[in-house]
Amino acid sequence: PEARPRVWVSQPLFGDIIAGLDEHFEVDDTREVTAWSPAQVARKLADADGALVTLNERVGAAEIADAPRLRAVANVGVGYDNLDVAALRARDIVATNTPDVLTETTADMGFALLMAAARRITEGERWLRDGRWTQWSFDTLLGHDVHSTTLGILGMGRIGQGIARRGALGFGMRVLYHNRSRLPDRIERNSRAAWVDLDTLLRAADHLVLVLPYSAATRHLIDAAALAKMKPTATLTNIARGGLVDEDALADALSAGRLAAAALDVFEGEPAVNPRLLALRNVVLTPHVGSASLATRRAMATLAVDNLVAALGRGPRAGDPPT
Ligand code: DGY
């Protein structure tokens, strides 16, 4: 009988969902959260036909150089800057990601972080737990309003549009966005958002949210010069990728009072966090959990499994009518 294709699953996902692969493949799964080195990734891919990977695993030319059978890499996540798509394409290896299923959950988190930064929520909690609340006072932890202010969105894909809707419909915000290309009228209308150039966005936003893909072209897009254009009362929220922001420049702006607060779910050297950010009180820090609701993580794992099965020719392709 024909040997079954082999697939590698790089991190523990949900056992019952990953079990769906057993029907089609020999599965080399991972039971404990593991920090795979590039050499270990290469070894795992060496005899695999497919792989299910996360943002932790970089899959580029070096990792696939000795993987002659590899035909598909399914990323569990919408961002795929961990994949060298050009290198994969050059070898005819299919790459997939998990858009849509995480849009609303991640937009929720973006808004939660924005509000936490503006209203100093985590700072207030630390202050209270430290036993510093001795009496109610009029000027304790004064923050900045969210309602009726200007929301700036940098990167207007699905998640950006979800944040725009929350801001406009739920909080009466004026919504401006910047994107490489202006979106069709219909999407602008649905999102209640108006396109502006980057400079205008930086200067006008009371709350700026980053939701754009990371690449060499967007690395440190928010640098000292960009931060200098922002209002000193503004907040910056990043739920995309840490490398979009020059973290030292951000720490400078926050400590000098040139920016009110920041909320960061992503970091350039994850899981390491710039110690200067850790030392600041006006930064909300979360460990890359934008899409981390139980239902959404299950949906992401399910979609990634379906993508891998389809890419290896074992099931209906995404979008095919059910039979
Ligand atoms: C994504 O989907 O890109 C998130 O960052 C988690 O992987």
Among 241, 247, 268, 297, the active-site one is: 241
Do 241 and 144 sit in the same domain of this protein?
Answer: yes
Considering the domain architecture, whether residues 200 and 139 belong to the same structural domain is answered as yes
Judge if 118 and 262 occupy the same domain.
Answer: yes
Asked if residue 268 and residue 301 are part of one domain, the reply reads no
- pLDDT tens across the length of the chain (323 residues): 678 999 999 999 999 999 999 999 999 999 999 999 999 999 999 999 999 999 999 999 999 999 999 999 999 999 999 999 999 999 999 999 999 999 999 999 999 999 999 999 999 999 999 999 999 999 999 999 999 999 999 999 999 999 999 999 999 999 999 999 999 999 999 999 999 999 999 999 999 999 999 999 999 999 999 999 999 999 999 999 999 999 999 999 999 999 999 999 999 999 999 999 999 999 999 999 999 999 999 999 999 999 999 999 986 555 444 43
Q: Report yes or no on 318 lying in a domain.
A: no
Q: 270 catalytic, yes or no?
A: yes
89 in helix, strand or coil?
helix
Alpha carbons 151 and 181: distance in angstroms, whole number:
19
Asked if the interface predicted TM-score (ipTM) of this complex is over 0.85, the answer is yes
Q: Are residues 156 and 52 in the same domain?
A: no
Pairing of strands 207-210, 150-154: parallel
Taking the model in full, what pTM does it have?
0.95
Q: Is residue 251 domain-shared with residue 264, that is, in the same domain?
A: yes
**Cα–ligand 1 centroid distance for 160 (angstroms):** 14
Same domain for 75 and 116, yes or no, is no
Q: Is residue 320 in a domain?
A: no
Angle, helix 294-311 to helix 103-118, in steps of 10 degrees = 140
Distance CA 295, CA 291 (A): 9
Distant-in-sequence, close-in-space partners of 170: CB < 8 Å, separation ≥ 6: none
Of all protein residues, whose CA lies closest to atom 3 belonging to ligand 1? 79
Judgement on whether residues 93 and 134 belong to the same structural domain of the protein: no
Residues 152 and 281 in one domain: yes
Neighbours of 53 (CB within 10 A): 27
Asked if residue 316 belongs to a domain, the reply is: no
Is the residue at 49 inside a domain?
yes
How many independent structural domains does the chain possess? Answer: 2
CATH number, residue 45: 3.40.50.720
Q: Are residues 139 and 221 in the same domain?
A: yes
- Examine residue 32 and state whether it is found in any structural domain, yes or no: yes
CA-to-CA separations, 75 to 54, 59, 80, 277, 278, in angstroms, rounded:
6, 10, 7, 29, 30
Instruction: Identify the CA nearest to 227 among candidates 195, 194, 251, 193.
Output: 251
User: Is residue 288 annotated as a catalytic residue, yes or no?
Assistant: yes
323 lies in some domain:
no
Plot region of 187 (φ>0 → left; ψ -120 to 50 → alpha; else → beta): alpha
CB 305 within 8 A of CB 311: no
CB within 8 Å of 256: residues ≥ 6 apart: none
- Tokens, residue 131: 């036993």
Q: How far is the CA of 105 from the centre of ligand 1 (A)?
A: 11
Does residue 214 lie in a domain region? yes
Distance (angstroms) between ligand 1 centre and the Cα of 79 equals: 5
* Amino acid identity at 186: R
In which domain, by residue range, is 213 found?
Answer: 103-285
What's the start-to-end Cα distance of the chain, in Å? 27
225, part of any domain: yes
Two structure tokens written together for 55: 């943002």
